């Protein structure tokens, strides 16, 4: 809340500017030596202890894109929850935005970044600690699985749209808590095949289906 006071000879006029009236706003925070950006959407019917939904964009994309085509703000308007759209970091390997879902293309700790971001939002806006969810498109779906595998105490359900698990997560996922999972894939998707049979390059693939297809016993 910001206050401005203007004086004249007769009286003082106080103008109040309410900085909490926004519904969509971009923020920047520093994590691991990197400036990380995220957009928050706070619907007009938002109240304390409302759920928090985190939406993760795909590889090479950005948070503004997924904010536009996911239409999640409209659903938040209907149900009163807060939406967070974080922006992935640039990998030196390709110069593209990405989420490090236990991959081999960067050393960015996105597990810690996204988990800490949830805590920051909870402290600032008093969102629910029991209703935190994450969904992502493609690489964002990979990252959603990673958070479900390693931070099931924070993220209580995950959704992956045209994503799957990284090779590391296929082999090592052991969540502390059982949580609901939603997976949506196209059967003709050749970029991220629905059966998990991605190439293992840079740690993207590594499911048992991949190894069976390539004649390796697991």
Compute the Cα dihedral for 171, 177, 178, 179 and give only its sign.
Answer: negative
Three-class SS of residue 78? helix
Q: Model-level pTM?
A: 0.88
**Which three-class secondary structure state does DSSP give residue 172?**
helix
- In the numeric block, the tokens 């499911």 are attached to 207
Q: Cβ atoms within 10 A of the Cβ of 49, count? A: 11
d(Cα 48, Cα 127) in Å, to the nearest integer?
6
Measured between alpha carbons, how far is 140 from 145 in angstroms, rounded to an integer?
Answer: 9
- Per the CB < 8 A criterion, the answer to whether 169 and 158 are in contact is no
Domains of the chain: 22-207 (3.40.50.1820)
> What does the pLDDT look like over 44-99, one tens digit per residue?
999 999 999 999 999 999 999 999 999 999 999 999 999 999 999 999 889 999 99
Q: How far is CA 84 from the centre of its chain?
A: 7
Distance CA 207, CA 139 (A): 16
Counting as low any pLDDT under 70, the low residues of the chain are 1-19, 210-218
């Amino acid at each position: 809340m910001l206050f401005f006071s203007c004086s004249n000879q007769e009286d003082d006029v106080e103008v109040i500017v309410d900085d909490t009236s926004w519904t969509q706003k971009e923020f920047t925070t520093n994590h691991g030596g990197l400036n990380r950006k995220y957009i928050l959407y706070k619907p007009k019917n938002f109240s304390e202890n409302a759920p928090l939904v985190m939406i993760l964009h795909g590889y090479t994309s950005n948070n503004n894109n997924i904010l536009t085509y996911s239409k999640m703000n409209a659903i938040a308007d209907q149900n009163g929850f807060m939406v967070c759209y974080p922006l992935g970091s640039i990998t030196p390997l390709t110069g593209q935005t990405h989420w490090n879902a236990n991959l081999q293309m960067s050393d960015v700790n996105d597990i810690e970044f996204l988990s800490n971001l949830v805590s920051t939002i909870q402290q600032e806006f008093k969102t629910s600690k029991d209703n935190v969810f994450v969904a992502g498109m493609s690489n964002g779906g990979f990252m959603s699985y990673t958070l479900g595998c390693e931070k099931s105490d924070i993220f209580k359900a995950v959704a992956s749209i045209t994503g799957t698990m990284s090779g590391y997560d296929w082999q090592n996922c052991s969540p502390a808590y059982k949580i609901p999972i939603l997976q949506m894939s196209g059967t003709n998707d050749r970029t991220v095949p629905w059966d998990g049979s991605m190439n293992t390059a840079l740690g993207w693939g590594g499911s048992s289906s991949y190894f069976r297809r390539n004649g390796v016993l697991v």
